[in-house]
Amino acid sequence: MERGFFDRSVGRIIFYLLVLLLLVLQLFPIYIIISTSFQSNLDIWASMSPFESFTPTLDNYRYVLFRRPFLQRIRVSIIVAVFTTIFSVSVGALASYGFARYKFKGNKSLSMAVLATRMIPPITLCVPFFMLMSAIGLLDTYSGLIIAHTSFILPFVIWLTLPFFEKIPQAFEDAALVDGCTRLQSFYKIFLPMVAPGLVVAAIFSFLFSWNDFIYALILGSSRIQTAPVAVSGFIGQFGPEWGAMTAAGTLVIIPVFVFAMILQKYLIDGLTAGGID
Amino acid sequence: MMPPGETGGIIQSKRQVIFMSEKKLMSKKKFSERFGHLGFLGPGMIFLFLVLIYPLAYSLRLSLYRFSLTDATQRWFMGLEQYIGLLTDAPFLQSLYLHLAFIVICVFFQLVIGLLVALFLNRDFYGDRVVRSLLLIPVFILPVVSGLTFRFMYNPQYGAINWLLGLVGFGPIEFLSRGDTAFISIIIQDIWRMWPFMFMIIYSGLQALPREPFEAVKIDGASKFQELFYLTIPMLKPTIVVAIILRTIDVLKVFTEVFVMTGGGPGRATTLLSIHIYRNAFSFFNMGYAAASSYVMVLLAMAISVILIKKVYA
């Protein structure tokens, strides 16, 4: 590696100072979210400075978890995310196998079409979803929201797992077929164990995308099916801005995202470029 | 036995040729080879048809009607008049303009910052992995949390950004109550959250570049600037194109952050096309009009994805 200005002694110090500045700028809003969540309302309103000393308190968390139905909202979010994940990954894995192992007319264009559906902005589907689901009574139900989430997560799962299926040598399957396995048997006896890591990655991303969704949950849910992200925004609208409660709820919602992001570090770039975090 | 040269009964694969003697097994295999994919692809494709293609077709039909959800007297067929109407509809055109401006400005700044930081950090230093992970954190903040936190920070009475401005001697600014500053504010939020994404793609591109050309131009005595503009950037061009397209598709979907930060206000200053569609559909219940507006957005998304598929996956 060649050595430029930033690699020599004085430059080195300037380099680290610049890195530090970058980190401070970038992490400042995160600090605001977390520190505000531990401040009493009095401290929040009293001063503009985010670095003023304050007495840390868990009041916001207590309020959010025990005096408002936030735990119930988290439960809704988890149920929707879990079912979306199970449905997307099982149906998606079958489809990936189909794309990877059968040569048929239009294979390439069909998989491209599946990929292209990921470009559709969610707001454009909200109008027909709302109309159709209200016609068949799916508004404000778990099924309605799970269907909506699967509509954008299933293509993502197919896209993500396809390379995993394609990587498995044809010889493995030929051997199984010769031994008398049917395609379906070869799918779950040979392929599933081998693509398991890919399916786990797909499952975690599916969970995250469903967990992060705001717009479908906002439009298709209301009183009964309200997810945690929608509830977070509720702390600002309903009774005047409750910043302490909002940041506490926001912190709680972010935690699983960070945990999963850390598990997934290796696959992060692939997953993000495929789906976008929205 | 089969005469030589006849292919029936022989399954050929890349690695082996297997002779199948049982006729029955043969015909069964053939059937499953020809139609088996329907079984595997069927469930997924039928589902996607029902939840994507059918709703889009339904919405296309809806877009040809005047259709009020709340007022049954306000329902009639308009045909293409709806779309022709959009061409002279000032609120629609303004929101389309704001949406496009938002995309262009955000993607531009994210690219510039992402590229500069990627070049800056593209060297060995102590803690480089940790720094990169920390920089990427905002990407994982949920848009709704990010939007609300910025709304809090922009507050003129107790917001942290106005505190920072106060330190350098500027009075508090009511960022989200003024049209011009509100639009800049929502852009700053998006740039903050997503430039690290651009950075990560470009950084991995930089890491994958071969070393030899750089050593060669160094021997030839190229300056740093020459190296950057005549070697690094041209070699990075494919990565940069992919990064721009991916970000553009993503920014096109913008809704949540703006919805919770400003709700489209003050006035219509931050009413992007997505907010415009939302308001018409779910505040005024003009479903036909909203469907037509959203079709303009579908067309935009399709245009971008055609470019993407041609550039990236071809």
B-chain CB neighbours of A202 within 8 Å are none
pLDDT tier for residue B205 given thresholds of 50, 70 and 90: confident
Q: How confident is the model at residue B25 (pLDDT cuts 50, 70, 90)?
A: low
* Facing B281 at nearest CB: one of A4, A94, A127: A127
- Only one residue has tokens 């020809």, namely B34
The answer to whether B154 and B162 have CB atoms below 8 angstroms apart is: yes
Question: Which of the four pLDDT bands, split at 50, 70 and 90, describes residue B11?
Answer: very low
> Is a pLDDT exceeding 80 seen at residue B67?
yes
Q: How confident is the model at residue A84 (pLDDT cuts 50, 70, 90)?
A: very high
Q: Could you tell me the two tokens for A202?
A: 């797909």
Domain count, chain B: 1
Residues A160 and A52 in one domain: no
pLDDT at A278 over 50: no
The fraction of chain A above a pLDDT of 90, given in percent, is: 45
Q: Mark whether A79 and A104 lie in a shared domain.
A: yes
Label residues B54-75 b or e (16+ Cβ within 10 Å = b).
Answer: ebbebbeebbbbbbbbeeeeee
Q: Write down the pLDDT at residue A276.
A: 43
Beta carbons of B264 and B271 less than 8 angstroms apart: yes
**A52 and A178 within one domain:** no
**Is the residue at B209 inside a domain?**
yes
Q: Residue length, chain B?
A: 314
Same domain, A134 and A241: yes
CB contact at 8 A, B262 and B186: yes
Q: Among all residues of chain A, which has the CA nearest to that of B245? A: A273
* CATH code at position B294: 1.10.3720.10
- Do A116 and A42 share a structural domain? no
Q: Domain span at residue B254?
A: 88-313
Same domain, A108 and A243: yes
Whether the link from the prior residue into A128 is cis, omega within 30° of 0, is no
**Contact B176/B154 with Cβ under 8 angstroms?**
yes
Percent of chain B past pLDDT 90, that is, above it, reads: 44
Q: Would you say residue A200 lies in a domain? A: yes
Do A34 and A98 belong to one domain?
A: no
Torsion region of B234: left, alpha or beta (phi above 0 gives left; psi -120 to 50 gives alpha): alpha
pLDDT-derived band at B10, boundaries 50, 70, 90: very low
pLDDT at A277: 39
Q: Indicate if the pLDDT at residue B256 is higher than 90.
A: yes
- Is A232 within 8 Å of B256 when comparing Cβ atoms? no
A199 shares a domain with A115: yes
Asked if A55 and A75 sit in the same domain, the reply is no
Does some domain include residue A97? yes
Residue B193 has what pLDDT?
94
- Write out pLDDT tens, residues A182-234: 878 888 888 888 888 889 889 998 999 999 999 999 999 888 899 999 999 99
CATH of the domain at A222: 1.10.3720.10
Assigned domain for A263 exists: yes
Domain end marker among A17, A43, A61: A61
CB contact under 8 A, A154 and B48: yes
Instruction: For chain A, give the number of residues.
Output: 278
Torsions phi, psi for B10 (to 5 deg): -120, 120
Say yes or no: A158 and A188 in one domain: yes
Task: Name the minimum distance, in Å, from the CA of A2 to any CA of chain B.
Answer: 9
Rounded to the nearest angstrom, the gap between the alpha carbon of residue A243 and the centroid of all alpha carbons in its chain is 24
Q: Which two tokens stand for residue B113?
A: 């910052």
Per-residue pLDDT averaged across B266-284, rounded? 93
Q: Do A26 and B253 count as a contact with CB atoms less than 8 A apart?
A: no
Question: Would you say residue A153 has pLDDT above 70?
Answer: yes
Q: Name the residue of chain B whose CA is nearest to A217's CA.
A: B256
**Could you count the other beta carbons within 10 Å of the beta carbon of residue B186?**
26
Domain for residue B59, yes or no?
A: no
Higher pLDDT, A147 or B25: A147
Range of the domain at A207: 71-275
Residue B20 forms part of a structural domain: no
Q: Judge whether A66 lies within some domain.
A: no
Closest C-alpha among A28, A30, A26, A57 to residue A41: A57
Q: Which of these three, A13, A38, A61, is where a domain ends?
A: A61
Judge if A139 and A235 occupy the same domain. yes
Q: Are A159 and A54 members of one domain?
A: no
Total domains, chain A: 2
The answer to whether position B181 is within a domain reads yes
Please say whether the beta carbons of B106 and B251 come within 8 A: yes
Suggest the residue from A117, A124, A265 to mutate for an interface test with chain B (most B CBs closer than 10 A): A124
